[in-house]
Amino acid sequence: MDRNVVNVLKQLVNAVIEETEHNDDFAHKIEQILSGENVTVKKKNTGRKVPGTGRPSNRRDPAMFDPVSLISEDEYLLVEKLQSLTDKQLKDIIADYGMDPSKLAMKWKDRERLINHIVDTARRRAAKGDAFREKTDNDASNG
């Protein structure tokens, strides 16, 4: 084994022993860990925002589901699911999937207008690129 690794491990163990002797909370946590208990260690709040940890308070909640993948399966199922959501949840879908770059839909009060906007946008996105996909035998015989 590399001597440097051994020296680092010795320093680590000595630091743990020293902290255990001087800090009762730390000693208790070490005792719990050695007895096989699960211990959750609270991180100190340094006041810095760590990237990728939670959403900022001014952000909307995540969408309940993906309307584009759902409309690909069944448009009626999408409409049915959208009708069961609150206005806030509908706006969360619009925001999460970038369906309103001008931010106008966020001001709308009419539920049907919000639902229609989601369905129309999801329909357009689901059909995007259809012109480049292979035609099936039924499509070839029709046109």
Q: In this predicted model, which residue has the larger pLDDT, 106 or 39?
A: 106
Residue among 120, 67, 57 at smallest CA distance from 89: 67
- The residue extents of the domains of the chain are 3-34, 67-128
Q: Mean per-residue pLDDT for 99-122?
A: 93
Instruction: Specify burial of residue 71 (Cβ count, 10 A radius: 0-12, 13-18, 19+).
Output: buried
Q: Does the pLDDT value for residue 43 go beyond 70? A: no
Q: Does the pLDDT value for residue 113 go beyond 90? A: yes
pLDDT value of residue 49: 55
Tokens matching residue 46: 């340094």
pLDDT value of residue 119: 95
pLDDT in tens, 59-97: 888 888 899 988 888 899 999 999 999 999 999 999 999
Cα(126)–Cα(33) distance, rounded to whole angstroms?
Answer: 51
* Buried/exposed code over 88-99 (b: 16+ C-beta within 10 A; e: otherwise): ebbbbbbbbbeb
CB 60 within 8 Å of CB 89: no
CA dist 123 to 53, 57, 83, Å? 33, 31, 17
Q: Does the pLDDT value for residue 129 go beyond 90? A: no
Query: In angstroms, how far is the first alpha carbon of the chain from the final one?
Result: 74
Mean pLDDT rounded to a whole number for the chain: 82
Q: At what angle do helices 24-34 and 3-22 cross, to 10 degrees?
A: 120
